[in-house]
Structures are given as structure tokens and as C-alpha cells.
Chain A
Amino acid sequence: MDWLAFSLSLQLAAWTTIVLIPIAVVVARVIAWRRFAAKGFIEALVALPLVLPPTVLGYYMLTVFSKNSLLGGAYQSLFNQSLAFSFEGLLLASLVINIPFAIQPMQRAFEAMPGELREAAWCSGLSRWQTFLRIEFPLAWTGILTAAVLTFAHTLGEFGVVLMVGGNIPGETKTIAIAIYDRVQAFDDRQAATMSALLLMFSFVAIGVIYFVNDRFKQRFH
């Protein structure tokens, strides 16, 4: 059992969720409620990581992270270390991959909310921030929770892009999914089986939580 890899995966999943969810709340609200010309374009962009093969994403990330690229070069001169093959680079990749998982459930939740509700709140003298906290959040929180759990679980399970851009460094970019792959390659079935079972249980519990909470929420309102 590679605990270092498991804890790294948990850290990566936690950071991805913490950074991505607030951004996703803002974006999801805009997509759900505003009408603007580029909306279809933005929605397509958000959904893109769902359908692109990890190899395509991985290839672009490698290119963008390289010292010779704009982003990779800027990062190198700022922090004096390479973005490619680092935890930070992996986090950046993970943020991009998880965009649809973070935004889409929330977008559905916000879309389901009647617009009059917010207008009524504003008429009652609530500020926009108060409206969000007291009206929108209580109604959309299952969507936000779903997004957070999906993002977390999906990061734990991400394999292809990590294999391409990570460099398999223990404690830095060697995630549990990569560790399992290595054990399978090395014909170490016992280790592979243990780690696979752990990841399976973990993912099942995570997804189970989403369905359980969503069911409860529906029962309360119907």
C-alpha cells in the first residue's frame, strides 16, 4: 500500500476542490442566469474536457508547461522552478480537467431556481450578497455539494493526464492511480488489488453521499 501516493491524491483532490468550487459558483450563476451572445460558446468550452481524450489535454498541458512557452517560462522566472513535473503543474492540469464536473451540476441547480425569487429578495431589501447567502445557497447547496464531491472523486480517479504530465515523482506527482498502474506493470497483483479496492470503496462512498443527500433534499421539497 503506497500511503504516500494516496495522501498525495487526497491533497491534489482537496486543493482542486477548494480552488475550483468558488470560481465555478460564479461561472455557473452567470451561465445559468445571464443571456449573452457567447453563451453557447462558453458552455461548449466548459463541457470540452468531458469529451477530449486525456492524451489531447495532456499534450497541450505539456506544451503550455514547458520552459519555452509563455506560461511555463513566466512560472520558471517567478518561482525559479519548472511548472512541468511539479505538484503545482498537476494542480493546474487537474483544475482544467475538472471544469465540467464543477460547473455543470451547479449550473443545473441555479437554472432550476425561479428568477422571481431573487427579485423578491431584492425588493425585500436584501443585498446581492445576502440574497446569495440566504436565498440562493440554501436552494443550490445540493448542486454545489454534488459539484464538490464529483470534483474530488474525479481527481482521485484521474489517470491519463497525470501519466502524461506528472513524471511519476513520489510525493509530488505520483498519485494513487499511477501507483496502481506501476504495480500492475510490475506484476505485483497483491499491491494493485489492495490499492484498487481502497480507491473503489472511497469512490463508492463519495458518489453514494451525493445520491443520498440529493434524495433527502428532494423528499423535503416534494
Chain B
Amino acid sequence: MQNARSDPSKPARFWLALILPMWVVFAIPVFAADKPLIAVASSLNGVIGPISQGFALHTGQQVRVSFGASGSLTRQIVQGAPFELFLSADKSYVDILIDNGLAATSSEIYATGRLVLFVPDNSPLPGNPALAELPSALEDGRLQRLAIANPEHAPYGRAARDALQFLGLWQTIQGKLLFGENVAQAAQFTTSGADAGIVSLSIAQDLASSGQGTYILLPESWHQPLHHYMVLLSPAGKVARAFYDYLKQSGAQQIFRKFGFSTPTPSQ
């Protein structure tokens, strides 16, 4: 009798032993919810780590970062993703959010990106890339594949198209362009098979410092400025607002400049 009663409880205890730890594991993200979720354009991939560390040092608070193409992030926010702050790589996507009534503030520039021509190490193009070389390399067939971000939706892609149009190469280069989903993928294409790429200074600095190639800055007058806009979203709490303010302070702005961006507050 005693045995019969205790037997059925055994599997129950087994399941409890299994489920309890799982519940704890699944609950962790819930407890992490006081760290606000921030949507960040993938062009900020290298710089946002040091900045959020600076923020943590400064305030003792932390944020959780979610990278993506500005377009996809905007779509996710419109669709109800629980982001509290959006760091976009341009203005148009931020405007979409404001138009949809999802913003808590107006938009603000926090950094401005620069465009470079990056030439990977094993490219048939000269190691020290001269911009004047581009048309002739295109003509004599040395340049077979040029990677840029997709101008249909990536801000750095639009700027790259501007630059190629400025040079009068946009028509002749059709069919030789590789389109990365965002500027980070364009850079990745550049180092894994393309002859050159038009990418962000921020990524190019990183690639060059790890010995993967060389780059040259494109004049800013060749393309629409790559102003990065940010906006606080309706669910923004105290920590997200503090992070928003921190991004405008000199500490964060200095980190932006170190990583190849120019900033609204000029360098001292």
C-alpha cells in the first residue's frame, strides 16, 4: 500500500527536478528586463561595445544591444519589438518611426559616418589605393567585383551609389557590383573575394589594423552626408534615457571619433 502510493510521486519528482532548473534558465531573460533593449544599426558594430562599457562605468547601468540593418530594425519596431532606443544609420528610418507615432522624442544626430574605398590584400588593384585608379581599373578589367552595401535599403549603400554616380561610374560598373545586406556584409564580401569595396571608415580601420588591406577616404562632398540619427521610443525608461544622454556627452563622442565617425560636438 505504502509502495503503491509513493510510486506515482517518483515520476512527478523527476519532472519537477527537470523543470525547475529549466524554469530558472528561462526566467533569466525576464529578470534581465531592467536592462533596456536597444536597437543598433550594424554599422556601429565595433563602437557600441566600448560606449556601453563607458556607460556602465559612468552610471553603473547596463543596456542590451541588438544589431541589425537599420531597415530591418525599423520594421521590427513598427511590428512591436520591445526596443526603448533606436540608433539608426540614417534619418529616413527614424522618420518612419516618428510618422508611426512610436517615438518619444524628436530625432537627433549622434554621429556621422565616413565612406572609404577599401582594397583587400590580394586584390589586383594597387595596395595603396588611388581613387584616380578606379576608372582605369574598371576599364582594363582589373576591377571585376566591387562590394557595396545594398543602396535599396542600406544607408552606406546609398552613399556608395552617390559616390559612384559622382564619379560617373555608376552605369559602367553595373554587373560588377556585389550588394551586401548592410555595410558589414559589404566589408565581409570585400575581404572574401571582391577586388575592392566601398565601406565605412569605422570597419575599414578595423580591417586595416588586422592587416587585411588598405583604404582611402572618399571626400564627403561625393555623397549625401551619412548622419546617424537616434530616437527614443515610446516604451523608453530611465536607463534608456540616461544612455541617450550619455551618447551626446564628450566621453561617448570621443569614442565615436576614435572609431572613425565625426561627431556633432567638434573634437577638443
Contact = CB atoms under 8 A, between A and B. Distances in A.
6 contacts: A62-B192, A67-B122, A84-B193, A168-B180, A169-B178, A187-B71
Given A72-B193, A168-B179, A168-B181, 4 more contacts: A65-B192, A169-B177, A172-B175, A185-B69
Interface of A: 62-63, 65-68, 72, 81-82, 84-85, 163, 167-172, 174, 181-182, 184-187
A65 B193 contact: yes
B145 interface: yes
Contacts, number: 64
A167 B150 contact: no
Pairs of residues from A and B, 8 with the lowest C-beta to C-beta distance, nearest first:
A84-B193, A167-B178, A168-B179, A185-B153, A185-B71, A186-B153, A186-B152, A62-B192
Nearest to B191: A66
A85 B178 contact: yes
B152 A182 contact: yes
B115 interface: no
B194 interface: yes
Nearest to A188: B152
A68 B193 CA distance: 9
B96 interface: yes
B71 A67 contact: no
Given A68-B122, A169-B175, A169-B177, A182 B150 contact: yes
A120 B147 CA distance: 61
A88 B192 CA distance: 16
B96 A167 contact: no
B72 interface: yes
A72 B181 CA distance: 23
B75 interface: yes
Interface string B92-128: 0000100000000000000000000000001000000
Chain A CB count within 10 A is highest, among B144, B175, B178, B193, for B193
A84 B145 CA distance: 10
A204 B163 CA distance: 44
Contacts of A182: 150, 152-153
Given A67-B122, A163-B181, A85 B194 contact: yes
Nearest to B179: A168
A82 B178 contact: no
Interface in B72-101: 72, 74-75, 96
B243 interface: no
B193 to A, nearest CB: 4
A181 B69 CA distance: 12
Chain A CB count within 10 A is highest, among B75, B144, B177, B179, for B179
A187 B144 contact: no
B51 to A, nearest CB: 26
B215 interface: no
A190 to B, nearest CB: 14
B256 interface: no
Chain A CB count within 10 A is highest, among B180, B181, B194, for B181
